[in-house]
Structures are given as C-alpha cells and as structure tokens.
Amino acid sequence: MFLKLEGRSCLVVGAGKIGESKIRSLLVAGATVRVIAPRATPAVLAWERAGVLAWQAREFESADLDSTFLVVAATSSIEVNDAVYREARRRQILCNVVDDPDRCDFYYPAVVRRGDLQIAISTAGKSPALAQRLRREFEAHLAPIYAGWIEELGGVRKHLFGRRLNPEDRRKRLHELASRESFEARAAITSATGPLTKGKVFLVGAGPGDPELLTVKALRVLETAQVVLHDDLISPEILALIPRSAEVRNVGKRCGRNSTPQQEINSLLVTFAAFGLKVVRLKGGDPSIFGRAGEEMNALRKANVEFEVVPGVTSALASAASTQISLTQRDKASAVIFLTSHHANSKETIPWQAFVSSGATLAIYMPGFDYEQTSTRLIAAGLKSETPCAIISRASSRDQQIHRTTVRDLPSAPLLPAPTLLLVGDVVQTEQLAATPLEAWNLATEPLPQAPVEHEVFDRALTRD
C-alpha cells in the first residue's frame, strides 16, 4: 500500500538521529510535519528555522495526536514509545514505533525511485539492513530512463481509456507497451550508444561560483553532458551552461534541506553510466578537496565504470585572490594547510598543535558557526591570540562578504551566509583591519565591467540564450 501523504498532518515524537531520518522521509513525501522532542539534531533545528516543519521542545502529550493522520515514535524511551502507540491505537491513528515491529501499523520500506515508478522493499521490520542492501542492488540495475518511460505509458493509458475499445484489446495493448521488448526498443532510441554500452563519469570541479573561473575542459564536458548530478551551491550562472536536454538533479548536502545520502549518489552515478550515458558529477570548488570524490571514485572502480576527474579552483585559492591575500609569503608563511572542522564522526581528530607549530597559513573549510570553540582550540594549541584571520563568505561571487578579525575576537564574528572559509595566519595583513573593523562588508555593490571574452568555447557559453 502506497499512502499519499502530501499535505497530511504527520507527527514524529523524537528528534535524534533515527527521528531525523523518519522526518526527512515524511518531508520528501510532502507531509505537513510536526515534531515533539525535548532536544533535536542540528538538521532538525535547521529545518525548523527554515519553516519546513514545526518543532516543540517538550515531552509528548496525548493531545499532540489531535488532527493527526500518522505518527512515528522514535525516542530512546520504551515508556514514551509505548504511550504514543497506545494513544494512537485508541484513536485509530496509523503508528510506527521505530525498531519495534509489534507496535507498527506500517513499516518504512527501502524504496527505489525512478520518477513515478517506485519499488518498495520491506522485511516486516526484521532486517532493515537487508532491505537497504537490496535497494542498492536494484538501484544499480534499474535503468534511469524508466522515469521517462513510465510517464509515456501513463499518457498512452489515459488516451486508451478515453476511447471506446474492447476491454480485452485495451488490456492486451497496455501489456504489450509495458513489455521488455517495448522497453528495449525505446532504450535503443534514447541512448545513441545503445542500452548495453557503458558510459563515463566526469567528476568536475565547478570552482567557487564565478563561471569565468571554470576551466575550459570543465565547460566542454558540461556542454555535452547527458546527466548532471550537482551540489546544492552551484551558481545559477554555471547551471545555465548545462544542455536543456540533460537530466539534471540536485544531490547537494546542505543543512536545513532534504539531502541525498552518499550511497544513493554513488548508485546513481553507476546506474546512469551503466546505461551508456555521459554523466557529470558537478562539485563546488575542486572535487578532491573535501568533496567526497574518493568515495565516488571507489564506487566507480568497484562497478568497473570509466571515470575522469576535471579539477577546479578550490575556495581557498578563490578566497585569497578575491581578498588580495597571498597564502604564502617569505617573511610570514612558507606553507598552506587545507583542513576542515567538519568530520564524519564527532570525535576530535584535528591535530591543532601540529598545524599551529608549523607556521603555515590555515585554510579552514566548512568552519561552521562555533567560532568560540575554534578560537579556543587555536589559542590552546599555541597560536597567538592577536593572529589575524578572515572569514570569507561566497568567495568570488557578487554577494561575497568578508569579515576580518583576530583569533581572540573570532567568537564575536557575525554569521555570514554559507559557504564560508576561514583563513588564519599572519598573511591576513593586520594593516587592513583598520579599513574593515570587525564588520562584514560586500565585495562590490555593482558588478565590474567585463572584458571581451574571445575564446570560442566561452563565447558560445556566455552568449547562449
């Protein structure tokens, strides 16, 4: 049974990691989501700030089920989960108690999606891990063009039901259209290389956002792409260079929005390539700098899919250029260290003392907003509190913002729009601090006049309708 949840009031009790995943699924389905929990994960908090759900920081009450179509209990308390289940049963409201099959009116299946074609895999709660493994296998073998094909079949079905036909003749015709032979014939037409020809994946760096900072090779690859899976913060100007005939999907991972799991991105790359398509995985900056390109390359190697990496201008270089900071300088720093304060686990793994003692300029990607913690760690590692630093927001774009400060005063820095990068070191010239004292400023209010672009490839791109 597939429930239509769009616009229906759904309640999730609990907002930890497990609750977060259930909330995400309901949001994807278009449900109106309410959350009851004393505490919530950063993602749930961001969704609440973005207005995509309503969160109340308190314990569950029976009145929370008023006007509720469906409820999920995802707390670590057996007593609370049981109370939710008993009240839902009394009111005849559909209920799912996570990891408790006996208290589930429905199960969350592992779902393979190709447009309106959905394959739900369930083990009745006995082994969600097996359901997820089977989903990944289906993802790898179910051709992406099923999404377009199902739309065509729907249109033909509607047309046939609008005509006066013998029901048996109509049924026979619909089954012929849905046959494997019909699918393979359509597939052969759709793919110029044929349905069994392997395609190729390009991991392309889109740079920091300015289309003029794309490499010539990146532009050429993008102009001929058949499928583009792009990060969330790729600029509209760069997305406009993608052919209109290409399949384009946003698979970005931004806090506060529904995100695509990395495993699903890997499966999509393999699947599209296996069907003979030219696939571009478009990443901000450079693919090899905190872009999880290593995981995608490993997945492609395991699937025996040909791929190529097209480098891009990483944000540290773009930030330094647009703020007129030299990352290395003979009398200040002879090395640069790229690092991030964002990790796959919560354990502290950054060797701050080693980095600080090296005397290198620190380029900290994804610094987050806990500047007080960053300041404390840098000073504890031996960095002088008066060391200058700069927060650069949306480097190289028209709405770039910069905040220059010191490590000591970093906790009072404003929260600038993502993506941001933090540069720390003596190369962030202290004499410039007086020009922008402890406040963010726009790089420019008006775009600079552009010099003529004579290169043939760029000329075609920039003048395209």
Q: In total, how many domains does the chain have? A: 4
* pLDDT of amino acid 6: 87
Tell whether 306 and 329 lie within a shared domain. Answer: no
Tell whether 265 and 291 lie within a shared domain. Answer: yes
* pLDDT of amino acid 62: 94
Query: Can you tell me the distance from the alpha carbon of 232 to that of 418, in angstroms, rounded to the nearest whole number?
Result: 11
- Look up residue 179 and give its DSSP letter: S
Tell whether 184 and 216 lie within a shared domain. Answer: no
- Does some domain include residue 17? yes
Which whole-number Å values give the CA distances from 244 to 224, 228, 464, in the listed order?
10, 11, 11
Tell whether 369 and 306 lie within a shared domain. Answer: no
Tell whether 59 and 152 lie within a shared domain. Answer: no
- Does some domain include residue 465? no
Residues marked active site are found at 231, 253
CATH number of the domain within which 16 lies: 3.40.50.720
| pLDDT tens-digit readout, 189-229 | 655 444 334 689 999 999 998 888 999 999 989 988 888 99
* pLDDT of amino acid 343: 55
* pLDDT of amino acid 438: 32
The answer to whether 339 touches 377, Cβ cutoff 8 Å, is: no
| pLDDT tens-digit readout, 121-147 | 988 878 888 988 888 888 777 777 777
Query: Can you tell me the distance from the alpha carbon of 138 to that of 67, in angstroms, rounded to the nearest whole number?
Result: 37
Which of 313, 337, 371 is where one domain is finished? 313
pLDDT band at 42 (very low <50, low <70, confident <90, very high): confident
Identify the CA nearest to 250 among candidates 292, 283, 290, 274.
283
Residue partners of 270: CB distance under 8 A and separation at least 6: 140, 299, 300, 303, 305
Host domain of residue 171: 146-190
* pLDDT of amino acid 101: 87
Phi, psi for 51 (deg, rounded to 5): 80, 15
* 71-85, 180-194, 320-334, range with the lowest pLDDT: 180-194
Q: What percent of the chain stands above pLDDT 90?
A: 41
Q: What percent of the chain stands above pLDDT 70?
A: 86
Tell whether 303 and 340 lie within a shared domain. Answer: no
13 or 108, higher pLDDT: 13
- Does some domain include residue 136? no
* 42-56, 238-252, 344-358, range with the lowest pLDDT: 344-358
Q: What is the mean pLDDT of residues 227-240?
A: 89
* pLDDT of amino acid 390: 94
pLDDT band at 275 (very low <50, low <70, confident <90, very high): low
* pLDDT of amino acid 190: 59
Query: Can you tell me the distance from the alpha carbon of 91 to that of 68, in angstroms, rounded to the nearest whole number?
Result: 10
Tell whether 218 and 295 lie within a shared domain. Answer: yes
Q: What is the mean pLDDT of residues 281-289?
A: 94
* pLDDT of amino acid 173: 86
pTM here? 0.52
